[in-house]
Structure 1
Amino acid sequence: MFCRLMSLRCAVLILAAFGWLVPGLGLSAEPELVPNLVPGTEPLTETGDFSVKMANGISGYLLKATEDSVAQRRQAWRPNFSTLENYAKSVEPNRRRLQKLIGAIDEQVATPKWEYVCGPDAPEVIAETQRFQIRAVRWTVLPGVWGEGLLVEPTGKPLANLILIPDADQTPEMLAGLADSDSTCFQVLPLVEAGCRVLIPQLINRECTWSGNPEIAMTNITHREWIYRQAYEMGRHIIGLEVLKMMSAVDLLKQEADTPLGIAGYGEGALIAFYTAALDQRIDATLVSGYFNRRNNLWREPMYRNVFGLLREFGDAEIASLIMPRTLIIEHSQAPEVAGPPTTPANRRPSAAPGALTQPAFATVQQEVERARGLTRCPAGPVGIIEFVHNPDGQPLQTGSPKAISEWLDALNYKIQCESLPPEKMRLADRKFDPAERQQRQVAELVEHCQQTVRRAEQIRKAYWQEAQPVTTAAEWPQKTTAYKKRLWEDLTGKLPDPTMPLATKSRKLKETDKYTMYEVKFDVWPDVFAWGYLLVPKGIAAGEKRPVVVCQHGLEGLPESVVIVDPKWPKYRNYRGYGARLAERGFVVYAPHNPYRGQTLFRQNQRKANPLGYTLYSFILGQHQRMLEWLGGLPYVDRERIGFYGISYGGLSAVRIPSLLDGYALSICCACFNDWTRKITALDFRAAYMFTAEYDHFQFNLGSTFNHAEMASLISPRPFMVERGHQDGVAPDEWVAYEYAKVRRHYAALGIPEKTEIEFFTGGHEIHGQGTFEFLHKHLNWPEEK
């Protein structure tokens, strides 16, 4: 008998060593035999930092997708080359989509007007000769928003109207000969002396003088990024706002219908001129200098150039095709070079996103030019004219080279000769003028415009959600919100294909206590992209028994271990309090996945790589959780209908972002995050708002106009939803949290299920409380508490 028992025990140990479960062997007098592997998995032998490997894998996936996007863009285009008119009509849907992508969606002032910027110390005419006059002007664009710059007019009737847009760090005075300039500035006066009227707008520059709130913090964020951040969240963009300024200027300059109109720009001004010409077909000829290039490295450029979803449909070649059949001149000149955001001055927060501008290589510019020509060439010939002006040796030209200017003016159908006339000294008015004051006005107007939009965000969202009203019953609500889930996932978050790799799960045992066994688990999702986490399996699960699961999601810079460390001396214990381990001790199966928001710039630059493709980090996180739910649901001791989500901080954000789209979660608990998210992102009067921090990954295009936390929670309903809130949590004030949650409570009550939602306030900070939430899990996952 003794020998048979020893043989049986040896057999069990051998089976366990290979990771095979042997339930129900009837050895109740012996210690529970724990397998070294999770059922159905292969041994995990790989070592290294899986967090870094995950981030690098996502990066590789995105870089490949960026390269692939060039060929895939044609699926979004249906050009009709039968006639020039039909061509313009056929690309109109692409034009309108581009307009939306760059946030040029606000309704302009119906009847724009000029105003001269003058006063007691500022005469109307600031400089003149016998052949022209220079005035400081502004023009209406949006309510409260004006364009500003210099208007240089010949004394006779102008032969052409021109808009010359300097780079962001140049002033109109440099182009007009009123301030020191260099070879990167267009020379305006020869154009005026040849009979052209020229408007020189001022762009928002790359300084950081007014980026911040002196009562809270000033930052090193450039003015362009400062406006970009608050505009982007509401579906607007610094690019689109400045394009609207140019389109309003076109309205004014085209009042004389028989006068041709051209637009040109250098550097950032070239970007604005390029996009304006693509949207506004009244522009007859366009000159782009120091900008045109392949956009595969858009993620390396400054944050204010980030356009969500652009590369799905548009590179520079595709945008050029929208200018056809009009004329486009591309000049390969010395482009602005920007090493990064401003060096952080004293007493300013280093909050700016990284991003640089470098000289485009001649080969890549030429390649994109040829691609643009190919897109607009049909059997009958090219649809329009794309001229590429460059040095034979590929070296950059001086901005506004004679050949580029000549080609541009010829395209206006007027043989305007920029001959060298005898120099005539300008008479300068006794005018006290500071370009910095004009820049401050321009920044302040756009900030106020964006903040007005933010203040209307709740009303904008209410109108957006009208299709789902009225709220009826819990049974009908999921059907009424199907379209909203689709938009949140596909249009705002970015939906990747469903996981394509075989599951191929691997595991290894990490730890065993008297209450649970912990395993490390890794499985594939897409090529180069995997999921990884810790699985905690309670002891004492009977054969055939199905347990509920709690997915415990770590916060920013966390790891799976963050939620299971029970050592009070660990610095982050006061935030996490080992809540994953504590839940496993209560009998829940616990899974602690890794979400790829660790590594600071490393993961944030993955967000930058994702955005031009119409993706976000949550595009990957959702796929990882899809695969995770599939795997968890297949474990022999898991009840796939009772899988809950419980996240803290960034994991709390995941608690509204993931279960709102994945129905495989039976409930969700949001800790240390839930609040008026749009306000948290864009507020200029709150110290912890993301306008003042380096967490630029949080800004998501148009989210504030469509989904706040309450709307996301409504997509979780009729499943249970709970908020855990510490009174001293600096994420947001209690009042913001309570106000946003009141909308959730009202929604659940309207569905007739108020008992399925709760909020717990407690005395504490940014931390797991683990009392009301644990009761919530026991109640709604139907797992009895031990008394």
Structure 2
Amino acid sequence: MEDDMTRRQAMDLMGKSAITGGITTLSAASTVAEPQRKEAARTPPPPQLPGTDPLTRQGDLAAQMVEGIRSYLENQTTGSVEKRGVLWNRDYSSPAAYESSVAPQRERFRRIIGVIDPRIPFSVPNLEIPLGGHSVVASGDGYTVWSVRWPVLEGVDAEGLLLEPADTPLARVVALPDADWSPEMLVGLAPGVPSEAQFARRLAEQGCAVLIPTLINRACIWSGNEQLGKLTNLTHREYVCRMAYEIGRHIIGYEVQKVLAGVDWFSQCRPARPIAVMGYGEGGLLAFYSAAAETRIEATCVSGYFQARESVWQEPLYRNVWSLLEMFGDAELAGLIAPRTLTVEASRGPEIFGPPPVTEGRLSTAAPGRLVSPQLSDVWAEAKRAQPIFEKLGVAERLSCVASGAGRGEPGSAEALDALMRGLGARTGLRPSGRVPRELRVGFDPVVRLHRQFKQLVGFTKRAVLECESAREKFWAQADNSSIQKWQQSTEYYRRYLWEEILGMLPAPSEPLAAQTRKVYDEASWTGYEVLLPLWPGVFAYGILLLPKSMGPDETPARRRVSAWIRGSAA
């Protein structure tokens, strides 16, 4: 363990030269005025520290350090694709053997996206009927639309629409809109989505029972402390994500739980029918992740999302999942869906070019990040990486790739729906699109429902924080404090866990520890040296070492309390 290091420990290598002290940002470093150099009353200090090489590099070394770290991490991210293979040991000898061989990866995936809380069992969803209102929201060609709510976690419900066919359903589907689409838009009950993209309605017309959850959107209306009037431009998704991330949860995990609660209900329904998920944009992510996490989902359609994930760091923060790319790209997650049916639709994805603009009375705290439509070539390339898994399982036909409008069309194309329905056992072609149903509710406001969903997730997260102390006690139960030796031995696991699962471990430096120094300050009572420590090719740690002139000739910095000003930041 001593040979490995984290990103921040790149700077901590300075400690090997007895450098300690505070870290300041580049902008702060640039504002510090350099002290005037003065003549020392004693022998002038050497131009470099004894036992070190001369530092000859010129320019803004702090900026160069940060640029080197950025380049290194980008290369590591790109290279993660080739390194994932050694983390898998797939057994293709039978479907059961394959499932057993990938079970550890599936469990890790569930954990890193935050699917860790027990769901509340229930028999049927509750109908939402306003006082004096209609029990039926709308009626379409061969199906009825209901407003429903179903329990998920303690204090957390899912809410949305249920499209129930008049006859026994051919299949049961959880349909997931993009985060900025309401369930009503996916049925045609509200404007905003073209009729050809209303895939929930189209699935109901094919004889499927369709459940549509409400997703937390990308607006920022309630992001902050409403009681104190302290609001921000964080999207609702980022706001919940930031809260949940600290306790091992995630906005993705919360909404996957809502999908899986629907799957729980579908699994109880009789007669039994195949269960599927289909989603677009953020809903495509959730459909994809839900199917990777849950083997009861027999068919999946992902639109406007699937592609190589090595640029996920450029996307909004609420898509950031700890350690995801170490083991999982989209091709590897497709492998968790195999040998079940997966349809990938290349379509125009949500286009988001940054966080919400800052308006009067709101703080600018949102992280940068943008969403662009997946390129058709990227979709095909990632699907091609997944193809050998399906082929080795003897189910190559269960991975389908279709393009809507050459990759720029609307989601829910006829080709995508047909592939999904065939995966569900349909033997005939798609029925023609029917009439758009008419909303029967009067005065319904989807924002009220969305606010309720948002507050439930915030409340659940706050309660989970309060329970962390007892959770930590359970986690530390194996630590033995009966003696110093037993404590050190029994806590080795926890040290490793902190390093690998919390801080993030990087490989040991490949460059020899050959410090380079250069005198830059010569004051009456102290001398300052720039110090550079090579780590990897193109990557170094850099800072300023301040030494008091009162040190004796035989003293070393390690025997003194040394102060240092370290310029720049390692993360």
Q: RMSD of the alignment, in Å?
A: 2.1
Provide TM-score, normalisation by structure 1. Answer: 0.64
Aligned to 2:208: 196
Determine if contact 1:121/1:432 at 8 Å carries over to the other structure: no
Bigger relative contact order, structure 1 or 2 (CA pairs below 8 A, ≥6 apart): 2
Contact 1:507–1:520 under 8 Å retained in 2: yes
**1: distance between equivalents of 2:505 and 2:366?**
28
Q: Report the counterpart of residue 227 of structure 1 in structure 2.
A: 240
One-letter code of the match for 1:593? I
Q: 2:489 aligns with which of 479, 488, 492?
A: 479
What residue in structure 2 maps to residue 263 of structure 1? 277
Match of 2:218 in 1: 206
- 2: CA distance between counterparts of 1:188 and 1:536? 66
The equivalent of 2:336 in structure 1 is 322
C-alpha distance in 1, partners of 2:212/2:89?
A: 36
How far has the Cα of 1:384 moved from its partner? 6.2
Partner SS for 1:173: coil
Structure-to-structure mapping, 1:460-471, within 5 angstroms? 460-469=471-480, 471=481
Name the structure 1 match of 2:85: 74
**Counterpart pick for 1:498 among 508, 528, 534:** 508
**2:499 aligned with 1:489:** yes
Deviation of the 1:549 alpha carbon: 5.1
- Aligned 8 A contact 2:141 2:205 in 1: no
Counterpart mapping for 1:587-606 below 5 A: 588-594=561-567, 596=569
Query: For the Cα contact (< 8 Å) 2:115–2:257, is it kept in 1?
Result: yes
Q: How does 1:403-442 map to 2 (within 5 A)?
A: 403-415=415-427, 417-420=429-432, 423=435, 426=437, 428-442=439-453
Q: Is the 8 A contact 1:84 1:383 kept in 2?
A: no
C-alpha contact (below 8 Å) 2:146/2:163 kept by paired residues? yes
**How far apart in 2 are the matches of 1:35 and 1:230?**
51
In structure 1, the partner of 2:199 is 187
1:157 to 156, 164, 168: 168
Q: Is the 8 A contact 1:373 1:386 kept in 2?
A: yes
Contact 1:212–1:219, Cα closer than 8 Å, also in 2: yes
Superposed counterparts of 1:129-528, under 5 Å: 129=140, 131-183=142-194, 185-214=197-226, 215-255=228-268, 256=270, 258-378=272-392, 381-382=394-395, 385-390=398-403, 394-415=406-427, 417-420=429-432, 423=435, 426=437, 428-469=439-480, 471-474=481-484, 476-528=486-538
Structure with the greater alpha carbon radius of gyration: 1
List alignment gaps of at least 5 residues for structure 2. Answer: 1-40
Cα deviation code 1:3-37 (max 9, x no counterpart): xxxxxxxxxxxxxxxxxxxxxxxxxxx93242111
Counterpart Cα distance in 2 of 1:70 and 1:422:
44
CA–CA separation in structure 2 for the residues paired with 1:365 and 1:422: 31
Q: When the two structures are superposed, what TM-score results if normalisation uses the length of structure 2? A: 0.88
Local SS of the residue matching 1:312 = helix
Structure 1 CA distance for aligned equivalents of residues 433 and 362 of structure 2: 50
The offset of 1:43, in angstroms, is 2.1
Could you tell me which amino acid in structure 1 is paired with residue 276 of structure 2?
Answer: G
Structure 1 counterpart of 2:324, one-letter code: L
Any conservation in 2 of the 1:190–1:418 contact (CA below 8 Å)?
no
CA distance in 2, matches of 1:340, 1:108: 34
User: How many residues are treated as equivalent by the alignment?
Assistant: 528
> In the TM superposition, what are the counterparts of 1:13-92 in structure 2 within 5 Å?
31-92=42-103
3-state secondary structure, aligned to 2:163:
strand
Cα deviations across residues 81-125 of structure 1 (Å, max 9, x unaligned)? 111221122111111110001011001113353101112154221
Question: Which stretch of the first structure deviates more once superposed, 286-295 or 486-495?
Answer: 486-495
Q: SS at 2:541's partner residue?
A: strand
| SS of the residue 1:209 aligns to | coil
Q: Structure 1 residues 294, 428: closer, same or farther in 2, change over 3 A?
A: closer
Amino acid across the alignment from 1:111: F
- AA partner of residue 73 (structure 1): R
1:218 shift after superposition: 0.7
Structure 1: 5+ residue stretches without partners: 1-29, 551-587, 598-616, 618-787
Answering whether residue 549 of structure 2 is matched by residue 539 of structure 1, we say yes
C-alpha displacement at 1:51, in angstroms?
A: 1.7
The offset of 1:460, in angstroms, is: 1.4
CA contact (8 A) 1:274 1:286 kept: yes
Give the deviation of 1:475 after TM superposition: 5.5
- Secondary structure at the counterpart of residue 151 of structure 1: strand
Alignment partners' CA distance in 2, 1:79 and 1:427: 50
Q: Is the 8 A contact 1:112 1:248 kept in 2?
A: no
- The answer to whether the 8 A contact 1:166-1:186 is kept is no
Classify 1:311/1:129 alpha carbon distance in 2 versus 1 (closer, same or farther; 3 Å). Answer: closer
Alpha-carbon separation, structure 1, partners of 2:117 and 2:150: 16
Is the Cα contact below 8 Å between 2:398 and 2:423 reproduced in 1?
no
| Residue type of the alignment partner of 1:524 | P
Identical amino acids, percent of aligned pairs:
40
* Conserved? CA contact 1:300–1:355, under 8 Å: yes
Amino acid at match of 2:401: F
> In 2 relative to 1, CA 299–427 (structure 1 residues): closer, same or farther, beyond 3 Å?
closer
Name the amino acid aligned to 2:197.
Answer: C
- SS of the equivalent of 2:197 reads coil
User: Bigger shift: 295-304 or 156-165?
Assistant: 156-165
Aligned residue for 1:91, secondary structure, equals helix
The letter for the 1-side match of 2:442 is R
